[in-house]
Amino acid sequence: MVHEFEGIAMTEQEIFEALEEWQSLSVDPENRYAYEMRLKWLLDQLSNIRRSWEEGLKEGLKQGRIEGLKEGMKQKESEMIQKMLEKGMSVAEIANILDMTEEEVHEKLND
């Protein structure tokens, strides 16, 4: 862990050199302009990434709700078929009422 901090820590001399470099950049109008354009580009990229992430999150939530509704409908359909069987109805009668094949009724029961 000490080695990690050694890599991160800056000496006073390095800090002083970084400040001098910053001053030279801000004095020269061309360098200052280049720096500002680069910063603007980076901020634009960050904004695009955030927007894409938010759109992806919204789409994911929407898809999750749709999948949840579909799963709920399947579960309710299986419960309904099970209750019809418990009431003494045959698979053929259930298939006829629900407009399914007998095979589909069996599949719903096995889901």
CA-to-CA distance for 50 and 59, rounded, in angstroms? Answer: 14
For residue 10, the model assigns a pLDDT of 57
1 falls in which pLDDT band (50, 70, 90)?
A: very low
Cα–Cα dist 66/73, whole Å: 11
From CA 4, how far away is CA 6, in angstroms rounded?
Answer: 5
State in Å, rounded, how far the first CA of the chain is from the last one: 52
Cβ(94)–Cβ(84) below 8 Å:
yes
Mean pLDDT along residues 86-95: 94
The yes-or-no verdict on residue 8 having pLDDT over 80 is no
Cα–Cα distance, 84 to 80 (Å, whole number)? 6
Helical H segments across 28-101, by residue range: 29-86, 91-98
Does 7 have pLDDT greater than 60? no
Tokens 């820590």, residue located = 9
> Could you tell me the two tokens for 95?
């298939």
Q: Which of 74, 72, 98, 73 is nearest to 85 (CA)?
A: 98
Q: Which has the higher per-residue pLDDT, 98 or 9?
A: 98
Residues with Cβ within 8 Å of residue 24, at least 6 apart in sequence: 31
How do residues 20-78 score in pLDDT, each as one tens digit?
A: 777 776 677 887 788 788 888 888 888 888 899 899 999 999 999 999 999 999 899 99
Mean pLDDT of the region 85-95: 94
